[in-house]
Structure 1
Amino acid sequence: MKQLLSLIFLITCTINLAAQSKLSLIPLPAKMEERAGNFMLNKEVYISYAPHLKNLAVLTQVALSETTGIKPVLKITRELPKNAKAIRLIIDPKITAKEGYVLEVSSNQILLKAGTENGLFYGIQTLVQLVPLKGDLKLPCVYIADEPRFGWRGMLFDSCRHIWSVDFIKKFIDQMAKHKLNKFHWHLTEDQGWRIEIKKYPRLQEVAAYRNGTQIGPNRQKDVDSTRYGGYYTQDQIKEVVAYASSKYIEVIPEIEMPGHSVAAITAYPYLACGKVSFENGKPFEVRKVWGVSKDLYCAGNDTVFTFLQDVLTEIIPLFPSKYIHIGGDEAPHDAWKTCPKCQARMKKEGLKDEAALQSWFIQRMEKFINNKGKKIIGWEEIMQGGLAENATVHSWLGVQSGLKAAKSGHDAIMSPYSHLYFDGYQAEAKIEPMAIGYWVPLDSVYAFEPVHPDLNETEAKHILGAQANLWTEFIATEDYLEYMAFPRMSALAEIDWSPKSSRNFADFKGRLNAQYQRYHNQGINFRIPVPLIQLTVNADSTNNITLTDPTTSSTIRYTTDGTDVNLNSPIYTKPVTLQKGQSIRYALFFNNLRKSSTDYFPKLSKRSK
């Protein structure tokens, strides 16, 4: 039996290796044909371009220089020496896909063609991934004809629960661009902090942007510190981020929450609420320290609320060229509205049957204002309660059914089910991972998500704009931890959104991910390193043989059997380990023999024994 299990294990490994693509590109292109030969990248290579493509030529030069240390010379196409070895950037109107491109690598030239600058930009990302990670700089000869499956390829970035520097946001945007993502959903207002400067309402900066403590553990009563925390982005900083994202062909969509998740704004201007004190506890309003849903929300019966929101949006809209404004709309309990005389009077005046209809009326009133400003609204799926606003896009997050319903009714939908695309969830068992929000979203679950439900016909499916992952930051307080939660799951998201459904193969993806890990390392990204794979064989004498496998194929496994933690001084795993009855093993992967994965255990430890 032992020999049979070992044989099955070896066959499985062989099959997985055979399934891997020779070229480790992420996301996988729509069409790819590998050819014989290679293109040697050296100091003799030029980058040729038409004058209006100079920015993209410079971008190509910088990307190759950062990756290889070689900085090809830039040459306008008409000035290129005869028979020069070159990377040629070409606008070709025959390529009609807005974000599509054709990349052809031969031994003496690289042709990168697209119908738009967007397409050229994505072709450049693929070109850089063709550069070998070690050895000679020989790019494989290949023909790639590529375009994305979806037009909406998004990431939500939460600056409310924890605020991030402009430089770090730019670094995150850089990675989105490398993954061919194009929508940066920026969460800017919340119960726990208002993060965008509004000049007409200075108390949003003075009061709403700061809280007097932060929940730092799972218990909302006990795990709260008393450290003042906060900050906001000036309108100039907002413009800086938007311009930077635009240079990477990424659209920034702001989220300004309404009617719920508004405690910070209400604290600054209490007249925006249904009462003079908090509906939840009868105390004066304060910027919320803890996570979760508050029953304090904007008063739907008070016209000054709409004046406030319209004033806010009048300052915000010119900062964001995007055609969308995300208005939230989620997790807005109606308890306060049920007892509020103004809200009840509003319902009677407007002929609304219940508070869900009142929320719909609230959203539709704001939609008309936003539409008149030339924008469209996006809202979380709760905006469907009481009736969906006419031109709204539905952001489906509790599951897929709301997105399915929206598409069937002719409304656009963005798919972000928390079961697959909430990157604040655990990536493995909670006891071996840093603290996260609670649910489990491992890499294979992300990769398995399919945005288009099989119940949709071809016409309805066109209303699915694409998939977006959401990275809420309740328990994510450092840049390293944010990167740990985002990568490599962002690679899986990229493939969901870009690659053809028919080409998706998790075993192949994991093989290509090995090169991606090294790219992350080279780019200074604190990605999550996978733990070693374990195989158990029980022997006749009740001992256990433990076989450990490196999923990256290029790292070092270290382990202990004496109960101590695994570190760089622990033994290196080279062959199966035999555990005596009652004995345990701890093991971890050291990427490039430096950075360590989480430590896993066998037998699994209880919380108490950990």
Structure 2
Amino acid sequence: MTLTPLRTVVVSALALAAAFATPAGAADLTLTPAPAKAVRAEGAFKLSAATRIHVAKGDVEARGVANQLADLIRRSRGFRPAVVEGGPTAGAIVLTREGPSGEAYKLDVSPSGVTIAAAQRAGLFYGAMSLWQLATPDETKGPVAIPAAVIEDAPRFAWRGLMVDSARHYQSIATLKATLDAMAAHKLNTFHWHLVDDQGWRLEIKKYPKLTQVGAWRVEPGAARAYPKYGGFYTQDQVRDLVAYAAARNITIVPEIETPGHALAPIVAYPELGSAPPDASKMGDWGVFPWLYNTDDATFAFLDDVLNEVMDLFPSTFIHVGGDEAIKDQWKASPKIQAKIKELGLKDEHELQSWFIQRVGKTLEKRGRRLIGWDEILEGGLAPNATVMSWRGIDGAIAAAKAGHDTVLSPHPTLYLDNRQSASPDEPTGRGKVVSLKDVYAFDPAPAQLTADQRQHILGVQANVWTEHMQTDARMQAMAFPRAVALAERGWTPEGGADWSDFARRLPAEMARLKILGVAANTVPFEPQPTLSEGEGGKTRLALSTGLGLGEIRYTLDGKAPTTVSTPYADELDLPAGTTVKARSFLDGQALGRERSWTLTPTLLHTRLSAQLKLCTEKVPLTMVDDAPRAFERRAMMFVDILNPCWIWESADLTKGAILSVRASQIPFNFQVGADRDRIPLRAPATPGGELEVRAGCAGERLAAIPLGEATKNPGLSTITSRLPARRGKVDLCLSFTAKSVDPFWAIDRVTLTPAN
């Protein structure tokens, strides 16, 4: 990508947005992102094994796109159309260069044939992706009728990105390729690859082998310390292969090499690079670390060498240098660095970071590259051609654009896909704030605070998949998709074309396509979730809802799988104990998400998972995974505020007293939270192992103090049981643990509160 095409595409997209609107007649098209203009026509094109894809003789690029289209059709329909050069084109799919420029394309589908027209390869590719989507409305194999339509399309923004963090948790090349396939199918064109952080260095650098020999591996904390080291890295050959794979799908990979902070891993590998001695044991921690590169000439020589190898591998115009969350304590404490500030005539450490970033930027400029960094690089001044990625809300983007700098909007929390997607306890591990698919779709990447001229500096939009709590490839993909598809539409579709209801209508087709592409997308927000309470006559009252409220829920009570003709859920159900309820969500007659099943038992009625309890505070809420047992798939997930591990069972009925059973585990406190660690409330224990305290309200009377005893010797889940006294009326039970220190801390998995007989 270069500056001129970026801005040209933005302007052309805005022009299309003003000129075109998608008419109601195109409502049966399941094309995502929604195109700039789509007009339905009569009839359909029959795609079958006999269909041919035609390209002009000698057009190597068009033939490559045609083969990609044929391969995708084979994956989804089970047959592969032949690709031919020249010859008669009646009844065929034809790729022609007589079309719009850049990433724009025209797709004409009629009963007699299909034409994909674009001047450049990118446009041909996106036209092919649109045709494949229209040919893949579901997972059905065999021939398909593609609705006749004329589509004229171009992107709203030129940078349509997804960042994947491979530094915190390592993903396989196969998973990254599947992610690129899903990005390409939805016209995302920038893969920001976070390769370096405190927890690991993932990129092979030939001149500095210890970066991967040492810096790519860490010892996990807690019980996991007894397991093999965690880590991995990508060889330069693997990177070249992935870069080529992405380029064939019109995706530019932008690498990120963090400076000057988030640098513990390289400093562990080469301690002379640091401002203070490194502590390798902290590589298994999360949070904001104090280790920064020093400002010695030898350190810049190291960074120059690294960046030159990076630029040899990645042809992208932009190279990301981080620049975020650089705590300056070590710089403040270093006489050598304080002398450097004085020598350079700088005001403070913020200006030193600006000088640092600009010096790194000169290495990039020598090879015709452009520096991009997180919005902290604005502090202390910025090189004229530097680009700002705004993550602390949109203020950084606004400031950058007003100052004449190009910018990409990537704001926390809306576009930080490590936040959970619904309040369901079935959500994968991650941050506790709910950022739903609808929330992502509602984000407009063009701030109203900017003038039309200033908006020209908005290159585009990007969502970020930070993987601190995404320990597996499947969890990474589940957190990214389908929210990345919502982002794709907001980055591509003209401003006036955004329509949540229409986007939601297309979701069954989108989920089917993601499955075909090998992506483990999250279905939990679509699925029925139960709420149980005491019903009339000793029955159990069941209420069903979904995280997004889309479509309808249908259920059965006879053990059969729910279908589109099963009973629709309308209101709460009072059902006898032992009833098995099966439920599933449907949208326009198509299943959306998995079938769910519950057998109504007294234990189920009286049990709440930690995510179904109320947190006493929400300072840093996380869904965390236990550190034991060794088999990862057997580890429990627990919802907890790490700065105040405390839970509330609201409106507990203690009229007859109750038997309280709590399943909990002790987890290492491996969080770099600075002074906040000292503010975590600790109640002094009365027994050597501490107690589970139960109070009537968090500041109220203590109803029980249950010694943890032998549970303290168990690295996995333990069950703690006690009788609670009878008490009039309903009460909010507040559950917390006493402890001498915050490490380790206890977290609740589930609570069962059974009325006493």
Q: TM range, normalised to the smaller chain?
A: 0.7 to 0.9
The 5 A counterparts of 1:31-42 are: 31-42=37-48
Tell me how large the CA RMSD over aligned residues is. Answer: 3.4
Please say if residues 204 and 211 of structure 2, whose CA atoms lie closer than 8 Å, have aligned partners that are also in contact: yes
How far did 1:391 drift? 1.4
Query: 1:514 touches 1:552 (CA, 8 Å); kept in 2?
Result: no
Letter of the structure 1 residue corresponding to residue 268 of structure 2: T
Q: Matched residue of 1:421: which SS?
A: coil
Report the CA distance shift for 1:257/1:559 in structure 2 as closer, same or farther (over 3 A): farther
TM-score by length of 2: 0.69
Partner residue in 2 for 1:95: 100
Residue matched to 1:197: 204
When residues 368 and 210 of structure 1 are mapped into structure 2, their CA distance, relative to the original with a 3 A threshold, is: same
Which residue among 337, 348, 359 is the counterpart of 1:343? 337
Residues 361/88 of structure 1: CA separation in 2 closer, same or farther (3 Å cut): same
The yes-or-no answer on 1:125 pairing with 2:129 is yes
TM-score of the two chains, using structure 1 as the length reference: 0.85
Specify the alignment match of 2:80 in structure 1. 71
* Pairwise CA distance, 1:441: 1.3
Partner in structure 2 of residue 229 of structure 1: 230
For the pair 1:180 / 2:180, whether they are aligned, the reply is no
Q: Any idea what SS the aligned residue of 1:288 has?
A: helix
Q: How many residue pairs are counted as aligned between the two chains?
A: 567
SS in 1 for 2:401: helix
Instruction: Note closer, same or farther for the CA distance 1:418–1:568 as it changes in structure 2 (3 Å cut).
Output: farther
Give the structure 1 partner of residue 12 of structure 2.
none
Q: Distance in 2 between matches of 1:464 and 1:586?
A: 50
Distance 1:588 1:401 in 2: 44
**CA positional deviation for 1:573:** 5.8
| Change over 3 Å in CA distance of 1:409–1:222 after alignment to 2 | farther
1:340–1:99 CA distance, 2 compared to 1 (3 A): same
Secondary structure of the structure 1 residue equivalent to 2:433: coil
Query: Hey, what's the Cα distance between the residues in 1 that align with 2:330 and 2:337?
Result: 9
1:396 aligns with 2:396: no
Residue by residue over 1:28-62, the C-alpha shift from the partner in whole angstroms, topping out at 9 and shown as x without a partner, is 00000011111111233221101212111211221
Q: Is contact 2:528-2:585 (8 Å) kept?
A: no
- 1: CA distance, partners of 2:581 / 2:414: 29
CA shift at 1:80, angstroms?
2.5
1:80 aligns with 2:81: no
Paired residue type of 1:230: G
**Alpha-carbon distance between aligned partners in 2 of 1:164 and 1:545, rounded to the nearest angstrom:** 40
SS in 2 for 1:143: strand
Counterpart for residue 444 of structure 2: 450
Q: Give the aligned partner of residue 57 of structure 1.
A: 66
Distance 2:388 2:353 in 1: 15
Task: Say which SS state the counterpart of residue 420 (structure 2) adopts.
Answer: coil
Q: Which residue of 2 aligns with 1:245?
A: 246
Which residue does 2:54 correspond to in 1?
Answer: 48
Relative to structure 1, the CA distance from residue 596 to residue 363 in structure 2 (aligned partners, 3 Å threshold; closer, same or farther) is: farther
- In the alignment, what sits opposite 1:304? 298
- 552 and 468 in structure 1: CA distance in 2 versus 1, 3 angstrom threshold: same
Classify 1:417/1:139 alpha carbon distance in 2 versus 1 (closer, same or farther; 3 Å): same
1:405 match? 399
SS of match in other structure, 2:413: helix
CA contact (8 A) 2:219 2:230 kept: yes
Q: Is the 8 A contact 1:102 1:114 kept in 2?
A: yes
Partner residue in 1 for 2:173: 166
Residues 532 and 557 of structure 1 are in contact (CA less than 8 Å); yes or no, is this contact kept in structure 2?
no
Specify the SS of the correspondent of 2:54: strand
Unaligned runs of 5+ in 2: 1-23, 599-603, 614-646, 648-749, 753-757
1:293 aligns with 2:288: yes
CA drift of 1:582 comes to: 12
Q: Within 2, Cα distance between the matches of 1:594 and 1:442?
A: 15
Contact 1:264 1:286 in 2 (8 A): no
Query: 1:341 & 1:589 partners in 2: Cα distance?
Result: 65
The gaps in structure 1 that reach 5 residues or longer are 1-17, 215-220, 279-283, 561-565
| Paired residues of 1:437 and 1:474 also in contact (CA < 8 A) | no
CA distance change for structure 1 residues 288 and 534 in 2, over 3 Å: closer, same or farther?
Answer: closer
Amino acid at match of 1:439: K
1:522 CA drift (Å): 3.3
Indicate whether 1:423 and 2:429 are aligned: no
Q: In terms of mean alpha carbon deviation, does 480-489 or 260-269 score higher?
A: 480-489
> How far apart in 2 are the matches of 1:589 and 1:453?
39
Question: What one-letter code is carried by the residue in structure 1 that aligns with 2:100?
Answer: I
Q: What percentage of aligned pairs have identical amino acids? A: 40
The 2-side partners of 1:559 and 1:273 are apart by 64
- Report the AA paired with residue 400 of structure 1: I
Give the Cα–Cα distance (whole angstroms) in 1 for the partners of residues 522 and 78 of structure 2: 27
Q: Distance in 2 between matches of 1:42 and 1:582?
A: 52
1:274 partnered with 2:275: yes
Distance 1:391 1:95 in 2: 30
Matched residue, 1:104 = 108
**Cα separation, partners in 2 of 1:295 and 1:596, compared to 1, 3 Å:** farther
Paired letter, 1:267: V
Q: Give how far 1:590 is off.
A: 7.2
Where do 1:319-330 residues align within 5 Å? 319-330=313-324
Three-state SS of the structure 2 residue aligned to 1:104 is: strand
**SS, match of residue 196 in structure 1:** coil
Q: Distance in 1 between matches of 2:595 and 2:572?
A: 23
Provide the residue aligned with 1:383 in structure 2: 377
Mapped to 1, the partners of 2:592 and 2:526 lie a distance apart of 14
> Cα deviations across residues 448-491 of structure 1 (Å, max 9, x unaligned)?
10111001111110111111010011111212212211111111
Shifted more, 133-142 versus 307-316: the winner is 133-142
- 1:434 equivalent in structure 2: 428
Measured at CA, do residues 551 and 138 of structure 1 come closer, stay the same or move farther in structure 2, by a change above 3 Å? farther
- 1:490 paired with 2:499, answer no
| Cα distance, 1:106 vs structure 2 | 0.8
Q: Distance in 1 between matches of 2:597 and 2:319?
A: 39
Instruction: Supply the distance in 2 between the matched residues of 1:308 and 1:207 (Cα, whole angstroms).
Output: 16
SS in 1 for 2:192: strand
CA deviation string 1:259-303 (max 9, x = no partner) = 00000000011111123x24xxxxx44561111111111012x22
